[in-house]
Structure 1
Amino acid sequence: MRDKEYAVEDHVFIKVISMKGQTRFGVKGKLAPRYVGPYEILEKINPVAYRIALPLVMEHIHNVFHVSMLQDYLRDPLHVIEPIHVLLKDDYTYEEKPIQIVNR
């Protein structure tokens, strides 16, 4: 196995430890996610430990992970979703219109 090394501000996925019979992220069994993220690396503590920026919903989890728990993430600008301004009517409803026909 090659030695993984990450730099500060790299993004990685975090491996989710599976426990038999446990629900992970609302899903149980084979469909449960194996990795979550991507999350940003804040600090390299030593060659095998990294401090990760976790969201507030995961604040109960310690934010230092062993390198074996991390998976590479290649940043892709297509993964960024731009917010769309939605015009609401007076009764707080809106009309959906297709942006593009992909296939017929």
Structure 2
Amino acid sequence: YVGPFKALERVGDVAYKLELPKELSRVHNTFHVSNLKKCHADEPLAVPLDGLHFDDKLHFVEEPVEIMDHEVKWLKQSRILLVKVRWNSKRGSEFTWEREDQF
């Protein structure tokens, strides 16, 4: 999660308009409540904005560090090669399985 941010106003029954910093100026500032989390003083999941990079679709850009494992899954007659990737994440070590041909 990124934040915390100040809630400026309630929009309807299920959304809030937030005060976002200039680094997030390309992000729409109204969010459905399902996308918000209550901020606690010692919240370890909050990600600092400094050093974050976004692509054209406003997705976080995180760099892979190393491939940890390989696996083959079968889908009917097709083999799907998977790799377990350790990412350089602001939230700490993060691992995901990715298709080898898309990695």
TM-score of Structure 1 vs Structure 2, range by shorter chain: 0.3 to 0.5
- Identify the structure with the greater strand proportion: 2
When normalised by structure 1's length, the TM-score is 0.38
Q: Which has the higher contact order (CA 8 A, sep 6+)?
A: 1
